[in-house]
Each structure stands twice: as structure tokens, then as C-alpha cells.
């Protein structure tokens, strides 16, 4: 009996203020609270609130046969608590339904594992506690930032007690194999690996409103038919995408909310199909094979690797400079300085510095609040300059805190 596994990433970074050379040693507040509030309100009203109400209605309508999963970063949870508790309440209602799984990841949606296993583990534990506190739920499934994955990550995650891990079903990893089965990570004995069917996922997340696409317009019955055709050639169809797909990336006017409303009915018209969460999939199916992934993969861009964040010298310099500060940060034992350092770890800051302007250029420009990747780098390094200066400044010599220039 094949399963459809729907997983949604929910994330909004804490955006940084415009920070000039003249602010260094003068201004020590880096987060743009007003922009964070404005963007969260916009996305909440266009996506989170209407989509959550749709999901709650679907769960009620199908009596628990509709099941979904979310990964909410610690950064977006902090913003929801501060600015939109009404939206957070709807996520709590989803948690209470018993039909929703919440996944674990690093609290700050960071690249920490690439630089500091200690920091990685601490952020994961922070996230686990946050999910437990807010939703009364202890996560069983793990997904790393933007589905970054390799063998080493899987082995670490297994030791941390998780039952399943998500990754991109990249062709360069699978070869002739199908993403529509459960695998076991190389070097693991218990952990199950669920792979994103990127073709079907991207049909919704990226191609849905493309009038030039040969399958446009995409309706729920057509999409469900494609899924049903996998019946004899797979056990699970993993549809993983940004939650912002529903109303923000794909506007309501495209019909995306009608699509997701009608989708469950069209899927379960076929008696052999059902919806399951990642943890349920991991319990239901045995691995068909071990999968060896020695190099990092992700769901980003055409390359599906780390180049969205660490391809160029700007990105690598910024990341190396940030993580070199770890010992100094920890020595301060100052909770606010540690929090600021972690806010600067959020992967979006490095994504904004991406200089790939070919097949993926439009994607990077769409999500980039800076005029260019170079502006993003200069702004970030100015902040890092000031932050490192604070760490080295003798106690009591900190400059007066005041707002950054607009």
C-alpha cells in the first residue's frame, strides 16, 4: 500500500540591519526588528494562517486519514511568539490533532555541522526542547538545513536517537534507483532515510504557476493521477517543499490553495493510497538497500549541493570568520552575545552572497534583500567586525548601544 508523505519547511530568517563601516564600534544591535515584523505579518496573512486553517479542515474532514509533517525553525518560532501568537496557536491546534509530525533541525537553520559538531548538537537540542515546550511533542525525525545530508550526518543523527532522516532524492546519489522507497544510510543500523521526489515536489513548489510549462495548469486530479501511476514502482512518494509555496511563493490567485484543498480527496480516491508522516513511513517500510552518500547533497538549486551557501570566496570567508569566533563567544558566557552569534549563523545570510547567475539566478535574486551579493557580504562583514570587537573589548568598555542607521 503506497504512502504519500507531505512535509513542509517553515522558516523566516532574522534579517539584519543595513550596517555601514561608520556603525562599527558604535552600534551593537544587528537585527532589523521592523523588517522582521513586516515580512512575518505578510507571510502569515498570505500563507501560514490560511494554509493552517486548510490543513485543520482537511484533517477534520478525512478523520485522521490526512497526515502531514512540519519543520519549524527556532528562528521562525521566536518570531511567531513575538509578533503572531495567533498563527502559533493554529500550529498548536495542528499538533493537538494527532495527525501532524514535527521534525527536528538546528535551532538557527545553520550550517554549524560543517564547522562545529559541538555547536550543531547544542542547536539540535535547543530545537528539540522548543518543540517539546510549544507542542508537547518529542521529534523522532530529523532534517538538516535545506535538506543538507551525507553519511557522516546520518551516523551522528542515529546516535542522537532519531528514527528517520530526510534528504534530497538527487540523481547523482540515486543513479538508477528510485526515490520512492525507504533506504538505510551507509554506516547506520537503525536510521531510515526518506528521499524527496524532487520532480513531483517541484511541480508544485516551482512550476505550478508557470504558464509556459507544458503541464500548466496543474490541477489536483492530474497531479494525483501522476502519483497513482507510481503504484507498482514505489512504496512512498515524498513531497517535500517550503510551506510558503501555499500563498506566498505561489499566490492565492494562481489557485494553489484550491489545489492543496482538493489534493487529499483525489489521492485517496485510489484505495491503495494513504497519507503518512515521516515517522510512520519509517515504521511501516523496511529499507530496500543501503545508500552511500559520502559528499554533501541538499535540495538547493540545480547542483543540489552546498554551492548555494559556500561556493565563492565571499561566502567561505564570511563563514570561516564567523565560526573562528566560537571559542571567544563561549568564553564570554554571555547569553545575549551567544544568541547574536547564533543569529549570524542562519544560512540565509550566506545564501544572499551567492554569485550564481545562471540557471538558478532568478531564485537567488528573488530571495535576496540586497542589491547584490557583494552588498550582502560587506554588510555582514561590517557586523562581524563590530561583533568580534565586542568579544575582544575589556569588560565595561562596550560602546553605548543605539539603533543602526536606517
Q: Annotated active-site positions, please?
A: 146
Q: Residue 395 to residues 385, 392, 402: CA-CA distances in angstroms?
A: 18, 9, 18
| 3-state SS assignment for residue 239 | strand
Task: Give the whole-angstrom CA distance, residue 160 versus residue 125.
Answer: 10
Cell of 402: 543605539
Cα dihedral 272/276/278/280 (nearest 10): -90
Q: Comparing C-alpha atoms, which of 239, 226, 247, 185 is closest to residue 53?
A: 247
Q: How many CA atoms lie within 13 A of 402 on its CB side?
A: 8
Question: What number of CA atoms fall less than 13 Å from residue 99's CA on the CB side?
Answer: 21
Tell me whether residue 91 is exposed, middle or buried, using C-beta atoms within 10 angstroms of its C-beta: 0 to 12, 13 to 18, 19 or more: buried
Task: For residues 292 and 301, give the distance between their C-alpha atoms in angstroms, rounded to a whole number.
Answer: 22
Amino acid at each position: 500500500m503506497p504512502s504519500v508523505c507531505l512535509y513542509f519547511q517553515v522558516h523566516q530568517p532574522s534579517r539584519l540591519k543595513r550596517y555601514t563601516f561608520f556603525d562599527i564600534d558604535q552600534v551593537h544591535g544587528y537585527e532589523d526588528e521592523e523588517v522582521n515584523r513586516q515580512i512575518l505579518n505578510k507571510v502569515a496573512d498570505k500563507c501560514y494562517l490560511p494554509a493552517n486553517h486548510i490543513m485543520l479542515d482537511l484533517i477534520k474532514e478525512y478523520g485522521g486519514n490526512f497526515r502531514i509533517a512540519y519543520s519549524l525553525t527556532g528562528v521562525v518560532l521566536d518570531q511567531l511568539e513575538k509578533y503572531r501568537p495567533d498563527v502559533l496557536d493554529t500550529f498548536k491546534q495542528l499538533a493537538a490533532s494527532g495527525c501532524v509530525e514535527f521534525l527536528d533541525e538546528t535551532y538557527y537553520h545553520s550550517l554549524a555541522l560543517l564547522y562545529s559538531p559541538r555547536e550543531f548538537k547544542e542547536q539540535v537540542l535547543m530545537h528539540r526542547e522548543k518543540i517539546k515546550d510549544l507542542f508537547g511533542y518529542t521529534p523522532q525525525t530529523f532534517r538538516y538545513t535545506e535538506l543538507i545530508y551525507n553519511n557522516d550526518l546520518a551516523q551522528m543523527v542515529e546516535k542522537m536517537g532519531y528514527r528517520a532522516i530526510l534528504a534530497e532524492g538527487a540523481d547523482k546519489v540515486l543513479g538508477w534507483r528510485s526515490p520512492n522507497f525507504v533506504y538505510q544510510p551507509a554506516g547506520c543500523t537503525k536510521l531510515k532515510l526518506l528521499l524527496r521526489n524532487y520532480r513531483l515536489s517541484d511541480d508544485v513548489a516551482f512550476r505550478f504557476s508557470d504558464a509556459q510549462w507544458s503541464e500548466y495548469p496543474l490541477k489536483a486530479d492530474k497531479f494525483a493521477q501522476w502519483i497513482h501511476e507510481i503504484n507498482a514502482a514505489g512504496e512512498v512518494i515524498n513531497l517535500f517543499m517550503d510551506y510558503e509555496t501555499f500563498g506566498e511563493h505561489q499566490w492565492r490567485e494562481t489557485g494553489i490553495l484550491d489545489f492543496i484543498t482538493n489534493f487529499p480527496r483525489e489521492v485517496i480516491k485510489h484505495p491503495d493510497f494513504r497519507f503518512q508522516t515521516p515517522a510512520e513511513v519509517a515504521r511501516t517500510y523496511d529499507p530496500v538497500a543501503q545508500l552511500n552518500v559520502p559528499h554533501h547533497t541538499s535540495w538547493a538549486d540545480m547542483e543540489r549541493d552546498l554551492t548555494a551557501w559556500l561556493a565563492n570566496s565571499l561566502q567561505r570567508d564570511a563563514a570561516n570568520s564567523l565560526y573562528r569566533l566560537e571559542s571567544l563567544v563561549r568564553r564570554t558566557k554571555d547569553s545575549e552575545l551567544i544568541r547574536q552569534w547564533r543569529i549570524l549563523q542562519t544560512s540565509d545570510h550566506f545564501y544572499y552572497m551567492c554569485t550564481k547567475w545562471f540557471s538558478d539566478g532568478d531564485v537567488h535574486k528573488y530571495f535576496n534583500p540586497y542589491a547584490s551579493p557583494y552588498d550582502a557580504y560587506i554588510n555582514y562583514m561590517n557586523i562581524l567586525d563590530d561583533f568580534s570587537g565586542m568579544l575582544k573589548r575589556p569588560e565595561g568598555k562596550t560602546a553605548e548601544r543605539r539603533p543602526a542607521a536606517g
